[in-house]
Amino acid sequence: MNTDLTLSERPTLEPRWLLPVIDGILAFLVFGAAYILRYELQIIRPVYDPLERGFGHYIPFAAVYALLVWLNFQRNGLYRNIAGRAWLEEVYLIGSSVAVAIVIVLAMFFILQPLATSRLMLIYVAALTIFTSALSRLIRRWILAYLRHHGVGIRRVLIVGMGEVGRSLLGIMLTRPEFGYSPIGFLDDDLDTASAGMGRVQAMGGTGQLAEVISEHTIDTVVITFRWKHYDLIQELTEVCRETDADLRIVPEIMQLNIRQVQVENLDGIPLLGIGAHRSFSRANQLLKRGLDVILVALGLPIWAPISLLVMLALALEGEGPIFFRQVRVGKDSRLFEMLKFRSMVRNAEAMQEEMLRESGEDPRHPKFVDDPRVTRVGKFLRRASLDELPNLLNVIRGEMSLVGPRPPTPSEVELYEARHTRRLQITPGMTGWWQVRGRSSVPFDEMFEMDMYYIENWSIAMDIEILMLTIPRVVMRSGAL
């Protein structure tokens, strides 16, 4: 196990020198671009200084600035490989680093008293540096996400302990594949847990099989989620990871609580951790989410209304049954409501489902039949294009559904839920969600549940917008029915 390396020093897809070199070159080139804006184009105000100098006189300052930018980026951890760090957080660190560098260069101007300097030019330099550095990191994220989507740079992960923390960790890894972690399986000494998988993530036995599993499945990283009261077991597992040269991660005891429940205070240098209840869906956030739904549905009316009329005409001409399909679903706080969809199946479709479940062996909590014989010719097209769900917008208008949220289950599906699964019902169900845009119909129920929990615990308006934006190409590319 590579215990002599910190997280930030572990290998990355690109050479470690590449990003610092790019930042240094960009910082130097930005000085030249700022010179053109100030002296050639004379943006904002003209140059009145008769002693206008060529860029050659600025080269020493540009070199010092590039060095300062690199040093400040290094100091602020911008070259550390931190999985999950938000792009906006990087932009903030870039801005603070550039501000320090600019202040130092400005101080050099005052101390050295060169014949011609421009403070406005330094503003250009700062703005251009923040823009180019932020853009370069955004492009880097896109490239890394693309490579990881194609299996390049993925770390194969084994989770040890599939309790609540292990399931939450699994949900994050499944929901955020761009982090570069691919959960291969899990170990647990609980016989019931160790004998049942979590969707496509395999149960691989108990902790005594750790060495065997690491070798057989080429595991890169082992994550232990046991509490510290199992210290002796954790020590044994640590030794196994050392012998097999697998990276080891241990979830700290405090992380047995959701990190969003922890508030940190500083009392004259002594950190105090406050534990409180985190509520993603406070009353204010619910109103905000509802407002977004109403606005987007209203703005989309000129698009979805004509399409709905065409679909209704096609279904009427097909003549296989009523235009609308009505089904009782379970909504927020287990309240029942009638969900509307365009009919895509034959008349007796629901009566046929029980027999199909027996023959196919599908999970009755989330059945997905391949080449479902109940689907009509028009219905097949509607499902592939996700047009059968357009009437869900009426449920959204009535407040029974949201544009984004967990899939609304049927009462028969809820009867099969374990107690923990009912947590999906604490928010308004949606037309699309995390599991739809990440895996669509191929996602098994257990994975779908963990993704729903990630959404519930991490909700934000930005997250809803991201899901809606990801839904559009999924529908256009027709990658499975929602």
Q: Which is more confident, 346 or 332?
A: 332
Last residue of a domain, one of 149, 175, 207: 149
Residues 145 and 205 in one domain: no
Residue 76 lies in a domain: yes
Q: 215-245 pLDDT, tens per residue?
A: 999 898 899 888 777 888 888 898 888 888 8
pLDDT of residue 115: 62
pLDDT of residue 96: 92
Contact 432, 404 (CB under 8 A): yes
Residues 143 and 167 in one domain: no
pLDDT of residue 270: 63
Residues 336 and 411 in one domain: yes
pLDDT of residue 341: 92
Contact 148, 180 (CB under 8 A): yes
Last residue of a domain, one of 116, 149, 182: 149
Mean pLDDT of 310-316: 91
Q: Which is more confident, 22 or 373?
A: 22
Residue 380 lies in a domain: yes
Residues 142 and 180 in one domain: no
Q: What angle do CA 159, 160, 166 make, to 5 degrees?
A: 65
Of 91-100, 213-222, 443-452, the poorest mean pLDDT is in: 443-452
Q: Label residue 482 by pLDDT band (50, 70, 90).
A: very low
Last residue of a domain, one of 149, 167, 195: 149
Residues 173 and 292 in one domain: no
pLDDT of residue 121: 83
pLDDT > 70: what percent of the chain?
80
Residues 299 and 241 in one domain: no
Q: 374-420 pLDDT, tens per residue?
A: 888 888 888 888 888 999 999 999 999 999 999 899 998 898 888 88
Residue 191 lies in a domain: yes
Contact 166, 187 (CB under 8 A): no
Nearest Cα neighbor of 210 from 229, 238, 183 is 238
Contacts of 186-191 with CB under 8 Å at 24 or more apart are: 186/158, 186/159, 186/160, 186/161, 186/162, 187/158, 187/159, 187/160, 187/161, 187/213, 188/160, 188/161, 188/162, 188/163, 190/162
Helix extents (H) in 249-391: 283-299, 301-318, 349-360, 377-384
Residue 339 lies in a domain: yes
Contact 358, 388 (CB under 8 A): no
Residue 11: domain span? 7-149
pLDDT of residue 374: 81
Residue 205: exposure state from Cβ atoms within 10 A (0-12, 13-18, ≥19):
middle
Mean pLDDT of 254-283: 57
Residues 443 and 321 in one domain: yes
- 9 pLDDT exceeds 60? no
Contact 234, 226 (CB under 8 A): yes
Q: Label residue 248 by pLDDT band (50, 70, 90).
A: confident
Residues 120 and 159 in one domain: no
Q: Which is more confident, 325 or 3?
A: 325
Dihedral in degrees, nearest 10, Cα atoms 326, 328, 331, 333: 160
Residues 90 and 136 in one domain: yes
Q: 125-160 pLDDT, tens per residue?
A: 999 999 999 999 989 888 887 787 777 778 889 999
Residues 128 and 186 in one domain: no
**How many folded domains does the chain comprise?**
3
Q: Label residue 35 by pLDDT band (50, 70, 90).
A: confident
Residues 187 and 137 in one domain: no
Q: Which amino acid makes up residue 34? A: A
Residue 269, classed as helix, strand or coil, is coil
Residue 298 lies in a domain: yes
